[in-house]
Amino acid sequence: MTAESLERPLGIPSDRREWRDGRTPSADRARLVLRTAREEDLPELLRLDREVFQDVAYPGFLLRQMWDMYAEHFLVLDAGEGRLRGYVLAATTTPALGLDSWILGLCVARDRRRRGLGRELMTEIIARLRRDGVARVRLTVEPANRAAIRLYRSLGFRPEGPDAGLRPDYFGPGMHRLVLGLPLTPAEG
């Protein structure tokens, strides 16, 4: 695996389409930087994760240890002045186990949604995983989470296993999840 950090201003998308709320993309988006997470991001990551996931947010110690292990596949949307507006985190098994990855976290701050940022995070992490030789990415999603399911399906994720990927009580009683997967073909060159 490579250990390359990322820092890329998002700028204005090439198609320059209007956002659904009628605003132009430039104001929001041009200020955001997509980059690998840093140790000093951890308090803000914890805040963002709690804001979005509330009672199912990661505890601080786990978020920290996931950064310890997976920093190069932990990407954030940096809005400047110490504020983060989204993140994606992928955890990868060892080569001996065939380099599979799980997306363990994806979110965009509520007031920044539907501007292509979730897609940007996912597209970048998938590209990095492919480049790093990962053969398959999997994730779980709440069956009622239409927004996330549509995003994942549009990126090529498909249900894994029987019952259209539905795994009752996957995270404990009543916490059902769909398991979706995406095979990755090796990157060229």
Ligand X SMILES: CC(C)(COP(=O)(O)OP(=O)(O)OC[C@H]1O[C@@H](n2cnc3c(N)ncnc32)[C@H](O)[C@@H]1OP(=O)(O)O)[C@@H](O)C(=O)NCCC(=O)NCCS
Can you give the binding site for ligand X, defined by CB under 6 A?
52, 106-108, 113-119, 141, 145-148, 150-151, 154
Parallel/antiparallel/unpaired status of strands 166-167 and 158-159: unpaired
User: 83 vs 150, which CB is nearer to ligand X?
Assistant: 150
Q: Are 78 and 115 in contact (CB under 8 A)?
A: no
Shortest distance (Å) from residue 57 CB to ligand X = 11
Query: Helices marked H in the chain — which ranges?
Result: 25-29, 42-53, 60-70, 117-131, 146-154
Q: Is 165 helix (H, G, I), strand (E, B) or coil?
A: helix
Shortest distance (Å) from residue 186 CB to ligand X = 26
Q: Tokens 């709320």 appear where?
A: 21
Residue closest to ligand X (Cβ): 118
From the list 44, 7, 43, the residue with the least C-alpha distance to 124 is 7
User: 1 vs 52, which CB is nearer to ligand X?
Assistant: 52
Shortest distance (Å) from residue 96 CB to ligand X = 28
User: 34 vs 141, which CB is nearer to ligand X?
Assistant: 141
Q: Are 81 and 47 in contact (CB under 8 A)?
A: no
User: 45 vs 117, which CB is nearer to ligand X?
Assistant: 117
The three-point CA angle 58-59-61 to 5° equals: 120
User: 108 vs 184, which CB is nearer to ligand X?
Assistant: 108
Shortest distance (Å) from residue 86 CB to ligand X = 7
Distance separating alpha carbons of residues 51 and 49, to the nearest angstrom: 5
Shortest distance (Å) from residue 51 CB to ligand X = 10
